[in-house]
Amino acid sequence: MTDAHDRAPDHAHHGYITDKEKYLARLKRIEGQARGVHRMVDEEKYCIDILTQISALTSALEAVAVGLLEDHLRHCVVDAARLGGPEADEKITEATQAIARLVR
């Protein structure tokens, strides 16, 4: 299976690129949260406190995923739909599969 970036190496076509710094900042905070959870486990903190932090980490990751999905729909899918043809069908299928993975 090929990744989306393998099919479209020209990053100028990715919608999120305009918000790249925002995504990178969010991901840096998420990395810090993950390190914090690791530290809590290492220090044998109370399980419920760890679970609370894991819930916050999960929510943060989901927010990034939803943002990327929205950008993908607004840019890649809309552009492909305007052009029509097999690429439009492929982008819609790709987005549907991404949504399915997020809701599992």
CA triple 13-30-55, angle to 5 deg: 120
CA distance 66 to 89: 21
- Residue 92's Cβ-count burial label (10 Å; 0-12, 13-18, 19+) is middle
- Write out pLDDT tens, residues 2-37: 444 444 434 445 666 778 899 999 999 999 999 999
- Between the CA atoms of 27, 104, 66 and 87, what dihedral angle is there, to the nearest 10 degrees? 110
Condensed to tens digits (0 to 9), the pLDDT of residues 58-94 reads: 999 999 999 999 998 988 899 999 999 999 999 999 9
DSSP state for residue 10 in the 8-state scheme = -
pTM of the entire structure? Answer: 0.76
Taking the C-alpha atoms of residue 62 and residue 103, their distance in angstroms, rounded to an integer, is 10
